[in-house]
Structure 1
């Protein structure tokens, strides 16, 4: 685009994607009379998954609006909680978000995870086919049109990633109901049913078990249980504070 300019101001949360707009939050972009406002915003580096309202001279417009020279555009960040059509809410995480995937599963949130890099086209296709919200730090992936829905994970730290996802989407939490390894549903199991997975000390010490109905993995309240309980309690307390 190399026509007359429009003026674009971004909410502070979006400046991560638009270095040319720092520190004022504003920049200029050229119009061509054809490209949509959504295309212009994405060309500046902001995935539309992170965009809420688009205002042109103070009035809200759709992403398909074709900007005219001299217009002043304000780009808002997506509102929290973000409402995603369809139910139940389900997620798909890329290869870089394994810890987040396990913690969401710990909370009982339906979370698919690709442990290998299968490529952006395949991830986007799975998001669409299974109607899953794609969570990623890959801006290019989040700009793919095939995605059913998506969100950028701003932090690289799992202890910050989980609260962000919970605040943004407010999924229903059902702790201790999913396998953290494969996302399958757990059921109560007897010691005999999981005996082949138990070492001597575990077999003698524990009597309460669960087992994944999909992969067969056994679960019990082992050495790391207190750490997991703390994660669950923090997540549940966030929901209580917001009610």
Structure 2
């Protein structure tokens, strides 16, 4: 038997999670007098990572509020920029966000990523152990209680994904300081130190190199440097302008 109902209205940014709320953005759902408002919102489809302020009849309440019949709930999105307290801002990306991981590393943002699927429990545990913000398009993963922090990546296009993350979190950018392959820090290197990774044309054409302290990979301003430079300049410019 269904219990008393509450009305839940979602901000436009959250409508994609709640098809049943379209086109008005509102849905009615039963309460049981036990489940928290956070649980109710997630049961309707919205991960709590995407929820900002919760209002009940106009007053702000925590996710632990237990709703009662007749209440009117407003679910607002996370404010930008989002502050993540308690640790340096670091990210963990799931297996489907490899291009985004490389671009964040290009910008010098501490970004953990594994090319193999570790599974949701392991990713959530890693997020908690290393205090990293989990970035994913997997709503189930973002609903795991073990997560230290998380965020849904709305776009499927790497360029737009990067803009999303930069606008939402405003991480400090230190371009050209991290290895795009392993996330290690780069240091200056001589041609002799990286000679074993250079082909004849590269060795003749370039004199400035960097090398990853962790995996040893060599870097230089090769054929794709202009494309990478454009990504970096756009990100830095966007950060300077505040999104």
Structures share fold, TM-score greater than 0.5:
yes
In 2, distance between residues paired with 1:87 and 1:124?
17
1:69 corresponds to which residue? 69
Q: Are 2:100 and 1:100 equivalent residues in the alignment?
A: yes
1:157 corresponds to which residue? 157
Contact map agreement 2:106 2:232 (CA 8 A) in 1:
yes
Q: Are 2:135 and 1:135 equivalent residues in the alignment?
A: yes
In 2, distance between residues paired with 1:26 and 1:154?
21
Superposed CA deviations along residues 190-233 of structure 1, whole A, max 9, x for unmatched, are 00000000000000000000000000000000000000000000
Q: Are 2:211 and 1:200 equivalent residues in the alignment?
A: no
1:34 corresponds to which residue? 34
1:114 corresponds to which residue? 114
2:224 corresponds to which residue? 224
- CA RMSD between the two structures: 0.9
Superposed CA deviations along residues 28-70 of structure 1, whole A, max 9, x for unmatched, are 0100000000000000000000000000000000000000000
In 2, distance between residues paired with 1:100 and 1:55?
34
Deviation at 1:88, TM superposition (A): 1.6
Deviation at 1:87, TM superposition (A): 3.2
Runs of 4+ aligned residues of structure 1 deviating over 6 Å after TM superposition are: none
Contact map agreement 2:87 2:131 (CA 8 A) in 1:
no
Contact map agreement 2:90 2:109 (CA 8 A) in 1:
yes
Partner of 1:242, secondary structure, is coil
In 1, distance between residues paired with 2:88 and 2:190?
30
1:174 corresponds to which residue? 174
In structure 1, the gaps of 5 or more residues are none
Contact map agreement 2:197 2:218 (CA 8 A) in 1:
yes
